[in-house]
Structure 1
Amino acid sequence: MPATKKDDDDETVLSLSEQTNRPADVALNQQRIAAWHPILDPVWVIIALFYLGVIMVPVGFKMQDLSNGVVELRKTYDSFDDPNLRECGINTTYNARRKCSLEFIATQYMEPPILVHYELTNFHQNHRDYYQSRDAYQLYGRSSLQQTSLEASLCDPLNKLGNVWLNPCGLIANTFFNDIFTLESGQDAEGNTLNLIEKGVAWASDIEFKFKQPDGFAMEACENPTPNNINADGTTSTSCDPDCCLAQTRTDDTAGLTNQSWSCSEPAVHPDDGKCYRYHYPDEEITQYLYETYPDVVNPLEGVTNEHFIVWMRIATLPTFRKLYGYFNEPIAKGSRFTIQVEANYVVESFKGSKSIIISTNNIFGGQNPVLGRTFIVVGFICIVSGLFFTMKHWLRPRKLADTRYLHFKED
């Protein structure tokens, strides 16, 4: 029904003094502060285009030069559609432990740090169902038994195997890249043995704030921590004494528990100091931890803090991606040969992809990326050409700014 009174006369409308939520009548709250808006007249546009062009073209050529200076060595060692790569190929055999050797020859002098990446193709880590399949609280130490229904649903269908909890759960953690790369031979520019460093490949912020061993985990050095045992034939082995885990109780209170037996069946060698440690994981009889899922790659003393695992958990945006595996801190002379042994465990047949090792130097803009420099050059030349065009247009057929003669009103 049409209103019979004006809104101003309506008794339901509050007066200004009664409107308590009304913003204050000041310039800031009412958006009346004076503002400066640049007027883009032809002269300013032409000057801006020339400035952009003059800056972007030399920057683009410099970036192109830096990209061309990056030395990159690549070896594809397994692919679903290339029978010539079957020396390292494992078809559909998971955890095949198939070993092969790849020889690299430095085409130029390589300055450190020399980065070692692995590359996968046609692997869509950015798929929504894939990158959401993780439990961030579990990765930072919370027990699987404390999962909420929402967190468990995110990990579905890889939350449990039968009656055994997966820790960590989810698609990302349980499709971890588990090929192993070992430097077999190689010398630096001074003739010393190369060393493939695998520490320091993950982001420090990820290590500190995103990944932690589960609550209740504890470890303790064995009484004889050096892993050199005398065998019956008089030789030595680098395994730890299994008695270190037997008939022992925990002597610390790291997780608020005492008199708990160690869950290990045999101690593990710590990758940092090379000594033997016994360890305890909570609820191990009903939980499968990361070191049990990937025993050849993940040390039980590291668990989810393993840096290769942390690198894998940082999702790639494109289906073809590289992830850092390690690096050399020594220069490599031109023509030098070095060999990397691959233990192939990761199947690419299922997603029709390939696996490669890439060894490269880098620059201030990252690795080899010719597209970035070319983009700057092309955009710079477009700006210069556009500036010339508008200069000729303004010179030959100038137009006065805000000239009312160019306004065309619609006639009634």
Structure 2
Amino acid sequence: MAQGKAQERPADTPFKQQRLPAWQPILTPKWVVITFSFIGVAFIPIGVVIVNISDAIVEVVQRYDDQCPPPPSYCTVNVTIPADMAPPIYFYYQLTNFYQNHRRYVQSRSDAQLRGVGDLSQSDLSNCEPIVTSPVQTDKVLYPCGLVANSFFTDQFNASLLDPVTGNETALAGADWDGTSIAWATDVQTKFKLPQRAYAGVSRQTARPGIPNVVTLPSVTNQEFIVWMRTAGLPTFKKLNRVVGTATIAAGTKIQFSISNQFPVRGFNGQKALVLSTASVLGGKNPFLGYAYITVGAICLFLAFAFQVKHYLSPRTLGDMTYFAWNTGDRRVHAIDAGAPTVGDDKEAGKDKSATADP
């Protein structure tokens, strides 16, 4: 028994016995002011650079659900480009007030089914509750099943460039309307695959409230579907749909979008929008990070100034022994050191005397 306990004891090394040498900075007023000043001087320029990079990105957002008849329908929406856009140009659709981050929604999927696992157990499919079977063919399993897959965004888009001078129309196609490289490579290679043998007793047909037509879900290897299955963390989000790979779009050019409007949003008070955007080394347009750097830098400079003023007006030497109580004239401390009774001791002594005087 003793040998077993000895074997379980950690080795007698500085690391496992927590005897490694350590260093802890002594935060003197000088070092506090220098540290805050350094952070402020470094962060503010970084923030300014990030904001400038974000401002250089051209982004156009155009709501379209209010310009189209209720789904299912078809409509066209024109968007005017305010500044030159160099490739690659990214086209997104944007949804508002759609909570893909709801816990019940996020969990309603079968990753085994999406990976093409051959033999699916009942527990694999139970993860898809409350939508396991097809609402149209109720005796068959919906493939892919679950709330996330069943709510797949079904609007389709085509785009044409309208020349502002001649009015000629040039359709975007091929490399200039590419939907084959919009999903994450890791998702395509590992998370979404067809089974080696086709599933039996499954259906891709589903139904949606307010839509009279039967909706056919796409293949699990469809990249638009893969993008949709990567759930968003906020209720307003945009998802990549196409990439304009080679065409440069000049300022003033009008883009005509032909939209197959199939996805209803009125039931949850949502909105749909088209988004065209260029990108930078930091991604899409988002000045928040730059403003955050500037704010932190400004706060640090203010704190450095405040500490410097405080140290100037009421300096205090670090480790000054004169601030100890016995060096500040505290009478209580001197009385204790001399062995004299304190106020409490006097009261107790008086009680003892009165008790002794009683017959």
**TM-score clears 0.5:** yes
Alignment of 1:374-393 (within 5 A): 374-393=291-310
Q: Percent identity, aligned pairs only?
A: 37
Partner Cα distance (1:130, 1:19) in 2: 51
Task: After TM superposition, list the pairs within 5 Å mapping 1:23-38 onto structure 2.
Answer: 23-38=10-25
Matches for 1:66-105 after TM superposition, within 5 Å: 66-78=53-65, 85=66, 87-90=67-70, 93=71, 96=72, 98-105=73-80
What corresponds to 2:210 in structure 1? none
CA offset digits 1:104-123 (Å, max 9, x no partner): 11111111111111000111
Could you say which residue in structure 2 is the equivalent of 1:163? 139
1:39 partner letter: I
Structure 2 distance, partners of 1:343, 1:147, is 35
Q: Superposed, which structure 2 residues align to 1:281-292 within 5 Å?
A: 281-283=198-200, 286-289=201-204
Q: Indicate the structure with greater helix content.
A: 2
> TM-score, structure 2 length as denominator?
0.80
Are 2:187 and 1:206 aligned? yes
C-alpha distance 18-396 of structure 1, shift in aligned 2 (>3 A) = same
- Equivalent residue number for residue 120 of structure 2: 147
Contact 1:135–1:170 (CA under 8 A) maintained in structure 2: yes
How big is the shift at 1:67? 1.7
Shift of 1:63: 1.5
> Aligned partners of 1:197, 1:186: CA distance in 2, in Å?
19
How far did residue 405 of structure 1 move? 4.6
Q: Within 2, Cα distance between the matches of 1:387 and 1:73? A: 41
In structure 1, the residue matched to 2:254 is: 337
Deviations 1:153-203 (A, max 9, x none): 211111113210111111101100010001134469xx9764322121100
Distance in 2 (CA, whole Å) between partners of 1:109 and 1:308 is 27
For the 8 Å contact 2:69–2:75, the answer to whether it is kept is: no
The CA distance in 1 between the partners of 2:205 and 2:89, in whole Å, is 29
Counterpart CA distance in 1 for 2:143 and 2:325 is 71
Q: Name the counterpart of 2:234.
A: 318
Greater CA radius of gyration, 1 or 2? 2
Q: Are the equivalent residues in 2 in contact too, given 1:185–1:340 (CA < 8 A)?
A: no
What does 1:336-355 correspond to in 2, within 5 Å? 336-355=253-272
Which residue does 2:32 correspond to in 1?
A: 45
Alignment of 1:224-373 (within 5 A): 281-283=198-200, 286-289=201-204, 294-295=215-216, 298=218, 303-329=219-245, 330-373=247-290
Deviations 1:264-308 (A, max 9, x none): xxxxxxxxxxxxxxxxx442xx2113799754x73xxxx211100
Q: Any conservation in 2 of the 1:103–1:337 contact (CA below 8 Å)?
A: yes
Relative to the length of structure 1, the TM-score reads: 0.70
Structure 2 counterparts to residues 180-191 of structure 1, below 5 A: 180-186=156-162
Residue 151 (structure 1) shift:
2.4
Show the counterpart of 2:314: 397
Deviation at 1:137, TM superposition (A): 1.1
Structure 1 pair 398–31 and aligned structure 2 pair: CA distance change class (3 A): same
One-letter identity of the residue aligned with 1:384? L
Q: Deviations over 1:44-88 (max 9, x none)?
A: 22111111111111111122212222211111111xxxxxx2x41
Whether the 8 Å CA contact 1:185–1:339 is kept in 2: the answer is: yes
CA distance in 2, matches of 1:17, 1:323: 58
Q: 1:65 aligns with which of 33, 52, 56?
A: 52
SS at match of 2:8: coil
CA contact (8 A) 1:202 1:308 kept: yes
Matched residue type, 2:50: M
What residue in structure 1 maps to residue 344 of structure 2? none
Contact 1:168-1:290 at 8 Å conserved across structures: no
- Give the distance between the partners of 2:206 and 2:104, measured in 1 at CA: 25
Matched, 1:124 2:99: yes
Tell me how far apart the structure 2 counterparts of residues 139 and 290 of structure 1 sit (CA, whole Å): 16
| Distance 1:122-1:104 versus aligned 2 partners, 3 A rule | same
Rounded to whole Å, the distance in 2 between the matches of 1:404 and 1:163 is 86
Q: How far did residue 17 of structure 1 move?
A: 9.3
* Alpha-carbon spacing, 1:18–1:105, altered in 2? closer, same or farther (3 Å): closer
Consecutive unaligned residues in structure 2, runs of 5 or more: 208-213, 327-331, 337-359
Paired amino acid for 1:88: C
Of 174, 177, 181, which aligns to 2:153? 177
Change (3 A) 1:159 1:149: same
Q: Is the 8 A contact 1:187 1:332 kept in 2?
A: no
**Letter of the 1:42 counterpart:** P
Give, as a single letter, the amino acid of the residue that structure 2 aligns with 1:373. Answer: G
Distance 1:39 1:63, change over 3 A: same
Give the direction of change, closer, same or farther, for the CA distance of 1:28–1:373 in structure 2 (3 Å limit): closer
Q: SS at 2:315's partner residue?
A: coil
Residue of structure 2 in register with 1:245 after alignment: none
> 1:25 offset after TM fit, Å?
2.8
